[in-house]
Amino acid sequence: MKLLKSVFFFTCVNLAQPGYTQKILFEFGAGKKFDQLISGRSDSTSLRWIDVNTSDTTWYVKGNVLVGKGLPIGVVRSEKMYQNFIMHVEWRHMEKGGNSGIFVWCDAKPEKDSRLPSGVEVQMLELDWVNQHKQNGEMPPVAYVHGELFGAGKTSTIPDNPRGERSKSIENRCLGTGEWNTYTVVCVDGVIKLSVNGKFVNGIRQASQRKGYLCLEAEGARIEFRNLQIVELEDGYILPEHIVEG
pLDDT tens per residue across span 143-202: 666 799 999 999 999 999 999 999 999 998 999 999 999 999 999 999 999 999 999 999
For the whole prediction, is pTM greater than 0.85? yes
State the average pLDDT for the chain: 90
Supply the pLDDT for residue 67: 98
Supply the pLDDT for residue 143: 62
Q: CA 91 to CA 93: how far, in whole Å?
A: 7
Supply the pLDDT for residue 27: 97
Task: Tell me the percentage of the chain whose pLDDT exceeds 70.
Answer: 89
Supply the pLDDT for residue 168: 94
Q: CA 178 to CA 63: how far, in whole Å?
A: 17
Q: CA 191 to CA 175: how far, in whole Å?
A: 26
Residue 205 confidence (pLDDT) above 70: yes
Which CATH number applies to 24-234?
A: 2.60.120.560
* Length, in residues, of the chain: 246
